[in-house]
Amino acid sequence: MDYTLNCNGRLLSLEVPQVMGILNVTPDSFYADSRQQTEAGIAARTRQLVAEGSTIIDVGACSTRPGSTPATEQEEMERLRRALPIVRREAPGAVVSIDTFRPSVARMAVEEYGADIINDVEGRPDMFRMVSRLRVPYIYMSRKSTVRDVMLDCAEAVDTLRSMGQRDIVIDPGFGFGKTVDDNYRLIHQLERLQALRLPVLVGVSRKSMLWRQLECTPQEALNGTTVLHTLALMKGASILRVHDVREAVECVKIVQKACQS
């Protein structure tokens, strides 16, 4: 479906699935190649994401990997205040998403740096109120373990957000959050059912443990498995792929689009 997101006055079409490239300005995110903390590293990673075809850059300053100790609110803000001017300088045309579960961080990023999207893994009422006030697209992630419960959870969240005046909403079924490996694969198998919500779906499976545990390898060796799941997700209606490896994901989108049009 031809969804669009209003990103600070720019309409981002999702008629062709978009690739969201990950930029972690943290010392402890699970995939080392996505971590950058120096000005040179952040600038180089930003240029790489854009050069390889990412239209959205998802900047994270607080790791949410299992077992991690979250950065403090002050640490998260300081990291973003260091990174966002660099991202804006190096990629002035990119849509910038902020990966945060803290309303105060979301407000700072939008009001001080013009962030375009808030990508939230918690989905608490205080964040709902904040994004509705900020009027930016919001990615809601479900931690439920079955497709039925994900749909019910997302439907309830969307109703609440709509009642607050929130317009642009993206659904993330939350691969790897609150789910076993088997739960994740059942969810990808039934992913097309989320289309009943009539909202764009973001899929974030890049190099996650559901892949490397199944393949008995490491995250560094899980690129091929990631591409397989990206292909399945696209064929089942995903509108956004959140990825570490942009070039490969962009190629996947092109091939699936061609195959489905032929």
Catalytic residues: 208, 242
Q: CA 130 from chain center: how many Å? A: 19
Residue 188: which residues within 8 A CB-CB, separation 6 or more?
175, 205, 229, 232, 233, 236
CA–CA separation, 76 and 100 (whole Å): 9
- Identity (one letter) of the amino acid at 69? T
CA–CA separation, 81 and 145 (whole Å): 35
CA–CA separation, 12 and 180 (whole Å): 33
Task: Extract the tokens encoding 10.
Answer: 């720019």
CA–CA separation, 247 and 221 (whole Å): 16
CA–CA separation, 149 and 153 (whole Å): 6
CA–CA separation, 234 and 260 (whole Å): 10
CA–CA separation, 187 and 181 (whole Å): 10
Q: Which helix (H) or strand (E) is 23 found in, with range? A: strand 18-24
